[in-house]
Amino acid sequence: MNKKKSTIYDVAKHAGVSITTVSRVLNDPFKVNPATRKRVLTAIDALSFVPAAEARARTKKGRIGVITPFFTAPSFIQRIRGIASSLPTNKFELIIYTVASTEILRQYLATLPLTGNLDGLIIISLPISDAEARWLIKHELPTVLIEYPHPDLSCVEIDDVEGGRIAAEYLIRKGHRRIAFLGDTDLPEYAIHPVSLRLTGFRQTLREYGIELPDEFVRLASYTQEQTRQVAIELLSLPEPPTAIFAATDFQALGVLKVAHQLNVRVPEQLAVIGFDDLDMAEYADLTTISQHLDESGKLAVEILIAQIESSSQLPRHVKIPLNLVERKTA
């Protein structure tokens, strides 16, 4: 005998709230206070509640959700461009959810699988716990992660440690021995921090070649041109300044180039500069950089997600995009 399916009325009774509150948690969770929201979500989980098919009726088009931090940062814009450009517009519409705090991220992950409003989900550069992965799987929301792998979900990633190694080996081959590192430091607590992995690969490789990376050559600055400018001035004003700088983002590498120009430091003759990302603006500035194929990662995520939507039996796919050095005129 089949067990009776739980209804929204059962959830409301279990949580001690009205049906309207349950509906609001499912469709507009940020209008419900955290304590009540948690009570409703606990009831939903305890009762294995799934919204009725009627509540999940859609238009002819399906919906793909993207959860992303830093929506205005160039690297995220390029990834979303890759997603949008490869999404069949006659079949799906794109809905973007921006994250500004850990609480918002947690609530999106808790409620989006329950609403039935999405056919699939792409999560960019945000950490997913084991419990959250199980929740997404339990509620059958096909999900692809970008830049933060989880064994139970499909993901598209790069090897940031290898990126640091590539940068170090390139500069060493060019004859540099006084090499500095510049990274960003103001990422919020809910975001992942690939810059530290790039520094790890960079430092390890220098050590293997017998090259010291002194503390004064490792600088972290906020992801702003002004802070980058200040740090670059400090590096280039040292009694023995570096002859090369690896900036862990193109955005900061461009700031270093600007300071070098202002201080009449010739690039690449007196200072080699290498970035990471290969943003559109890197080509215009002739910046040597490590390309992580941002658009391609978005396109791959869509390809994997649509395959999962079309066949629920698809096993998780883990795709690692190879990095490559793009040599231009700054190093």
Domain spanning 160-291: which CATH class is it, in words? alpha beta
Q: What pLDDT is attached to residue 71? A: 61
> How many angstroms separate the first and last alpha carbons of the chain?
72
Distance between CA atoms of residues 219 and 167, nearest Å: 16
Q: What pLDDT is attached to residue 302? A: 95
Domain 1-57 has CATH 2.40.100.10: no
Q: What pLDDT is attached to residue 2? A: 46
Q: What pLDDT is attached to residue 244? A: 98
DSSP string covering 131-180, please? HHHHHHHHTT--EEEESS--TTSEEEE--HHHHHHHHHHHHHHTT--SEE
DSSP string covering 238-301, please? SSS--SEEEESSHHHHHHHHHHHHHTT--TTTT-EEEEEE--HHHHHTT-EEEE--HHHHHHHH
Same CATH topology for 61-158+293-322 and 160-291?
Answer: yes
Place of tokens 């716990």: 129
Q: What pLDDT is attached to residue 10? A: 84
The low-confidence residues of the chain, meaning pLDDT below 50, are 1-2, 53-58
No. of H helices and E strands in the chain? 12, 12
CA 3 to chain centre: 41
What ranges do the domains of the chain cover? 1-57, 61-158+293-322, 160-291
Q: What pLDDT is attached to residue 4? A: 64
CA 231 to chain centre: 25
Cβ neighbours of 173 (radius 10 Å): 8
Q: What pLDDT is attached to residue 313? A: 75
Distance between CA atoms of residues 119 and 63, nearest Å: 5
Q: What pLDDT is attached to residue 24? A: 80
Q: What pLDDT is attached to residue 52? A: 58
Pair type for strands 288-291 and 324-326 = antiparallel
Q: Which two tokens stand for residue 236?
A: 């280039």
Distance between CA atoms of residues 68 and 234, nearest Å: 33
Distance between CA atoms of residues 148 and 119, nearest Å: 21
Question: What is the four-CA torsion angle of 48, 51, 53, 55, rounded to 10 degrees?
Answer: 180
Q: Which of 81, 101, 103, 117 is nearest to 32 (CA)?
A: 103
Indicate the CATH number for domain 61-158+293-322: 3.40.50.2300
Q: Which of 138, 158, 244, 153 is nearest to 198 (CA)?
A: 158
Q: What pLDDT is attached to residue 55? A: 45
